[in-house]
Amino acid sequence: MNDRVLVTGGAGYLGSHTVLTLLESGKEVVVLDNFSNSSHHSIDGIERICGKRPIVVQADARDSLALSHVFQKYDIEAVFHFAGLKSVEESVRTPEVYYEENIGTTLNIAEQMRIAGVRALVFSSSATVYDPSETPPYGEASKTGPNNPYGQTKLLIEQTLTDLANINDQWSIGLLRYFNPVGAHPSGHIGEAPSGKPNNLMPLLMQVGIGKADKLFIFGDNYDTPDGTCIRDFIHVMDLARGHIAALRFLQKTNGIHTWNLGTGIGTSVRELIQFVERVTGTEIPKEVVGRRKGDSSVAVADPSKAFNELDWRPEHTIENMCIDHWNWQKLHPDGY
Ligand code: NAD
Ligand code: UFG
């Protein structure tokens, strides 16, 4: 068996950290990315850190010819599928774009993998697939029922891949449900570089910290939580990346469909995160409490014990590390790459 992994969306935030971790583990990597939400400089950053560069193919993951060419040219052992659209808000405005892109990319990848005889796939799913009315922490068996089109695309893809694995036992597929990935590689050479105004809490806090935004709006402080703000399970992007390597190791030994939460199991409230960021940046974050954001659940925390036990994987970074590394990246790259 060869040692080459195809990473779709490998130039993006989570993909780039995972590509780095794959290269560091001795794998060869082919990145397929259309660079719709990323920069070639993330690839330079990877090389700067580890001295190795992945092969880069600039193409859309819905392009069957491009993908078939990649499988013919390179001997691929497994696919990590990150490519896709990820904004909950945008998905509410343009659901058809989300269904077309997220499902279209996955169907094409599955089809081209089948033709090429490649059967190991790790898919980037999300904690947003869980029904927000379920009582946290969420285990993999908790009820699903996303309340937005983005989450629906993830759930539909999970169902499609489950059917695929159930009908042909040669497939080994990992569905990784990420909670809230934050942070950056400690070198600060790669990190999260959202194009346009970010929607997520951590990149927004960083922008306020560096003076690119005036203040943070806290979306509601009347939730049923100790300080009234929502609670999330933040996970360091490097721990998330290692989770992928652990999943691949498992899938190389065990066929079938497997679902794992990638989270820490530790909840941090919006207010607590602001305090951590204030401590790390040494600045006070101007903030204002406004109304709730539609669709937010009060607490989203993982029960990660299945991943801990089956993958022999544990997150190593504290919430403070996450803030330190994200801030380091932000300071070195105030305008992104
Ligand atoms: P990102 O936007 O930084 O990375 C996605 C990458 O895919 C980008 O490089 C983009 O250019 C590329 N891409 C998009 N559409 C493509 C297409 N059709 N063909 C080829 N390349 C394409 O996002 P991210 O934060 O790294 O997220 C990666 C994956 O993880 C996504 O599937 C996302 O839904 C999922 N996820 C992310 C989070 C999070 O908070 N970041 C949480 C849960 C799940
Ligand atoms: N928040 C604010 N102000 C902001 C932005 C966010 O108060 O300006 C709050 C939100 O209300 C929420 C918390 O910060 O309570 C976290 O919000 P994020 O937007 O950072 O993250 P979400 O938990 O809403 O969603 C993220 C990703 C999804 C992914 C999900 C998995 O955006 O793609 O985590 O749990 F699916």
On whether residue 326 sits in a domain, the answer given is no
Separation of CA 14 from chain center: 5
Q: Give the number of the ligand closest to the Cα of residue 90.
A: 2
Burial profile 50-63: b = 16 or more Cβ within 10 angstroms, e = fewer: bebebebbebbbbb
pLDDT single digits (tens) 266-292: 999 999 999 999 999 999 999 999 999
pLDDT single digits (tens) 108-124: 999 999 999 999 999 99
203 cis-preceded (ω within 30 degrees of 0): no
Does this model's pTM top 0.85? My answer is: yes
Strands (E), the chain: 4-8, 28-33, 55-58, 78-81, 120-126, 172-178, 180-182, 216-219, 231-232, 234-236, 256-262, 268-269, 287-290, 299-300
On whether residue 209 sits in a domain, the answer given is no
Give the whole-angstrom CA distance, residue 104 versus residue 132. Answer: 26
On whether residue 335 sits in a domain, the answer given is no
Ligand 2 midpoint to CA 48 (Å): 31
- Answer yes or no: are the C-beta atoms of 40 and 190 closer than 8 Å: no
Q: Which residue, 240, 201, 198, 243, is CA-closest to 220?
A: 201
On whether residue 74 sits in a domain, the answer given is yes
In the chain, the percentage of residues whose pLDDT exceeds 90 is: 94
On whether residue 222 sits in a domain, the answer given is no
**What is the count of structural domains for the chain?**
1
On whether residue 331 sits in a domain, the answer given is no
Residue 131 banded pLDDT, cuts 50, 70, 90: very high
| Average confidence (pLDDT) over 1-17 | 92
- Check residue 2 and give its pLDDT: 65
- Check residue 3 and give its pLDDT: 81
Cβ < 6 Å from ligand 1: which residues? 8-9, 11-15, 33-38, 60-62, 82-84, 86, 101, 105, 124, 126, 178, 181
Q: Is the pLDDT of residue 165 over 90?
A: yes
Kindly state if the Cβ of 126 falls inside 6 Å of ligand 2.
yes
| Average confidence (pLDDT) over 60-84 | 98
pLDDT single digits (tens) 76-95: 999 999 999 999 889 999 99
Percentage helix, strand, coil, to 5, in the chain? 40, 20, 40
- Check residue 154 and give its pLDDT: 98
Residue 61, Ramachandran bin (φ over 0: left; ψ between -120 and 50: alpha; else beta): alpha
On whether residue 90 sits in a domain, the answer given is yes
| Average confidence (pLDDT) over 301-329 | 98
Q: What phi, psi does 282 have (nearest 5°)?
A: 70, 20
Q: Is the pLDDT of residue 175 over 80?
A: yes
Q: Is the pLDDT of residue 1 over 90?
A: no
- Answer yes or no: are the C-beta atoms of 241 and 14 closer than 8 Å: yes
Give the whole-angstrom CA distance, residue 127 versus residue 158. Answer: 12
- Check residue 194 and give its pLDDT: 80
- Check residue 196 and give its pLDDT: 80
- Check residue 258 and give its pLDDT: 98
**What is the amino acid identity at position 82?**
F
Range of the structural domain that residue 163 is part of: 4-183+234-263
Separation of CA 278 from chain center: 25
How many CB atoms are closer than 10 A to CB 261? 30
Q: Which residue, 334, 300, 294, is CA-closest to 127?
A: 300
Mean pLDDT, the chain, integer: 96
- Check residue 10 and give its pLDDT: 98
CATH of residue 105: 3.40.50.720
**Which residues are marked as active site?**
150
Atom of ligand 1 nearest to the CA of 104: 18
On whether residue 148 sits in a domain, the answer given is yes
Q: Give the number of the ligand closest to the Cα of residue 102.
A: 1
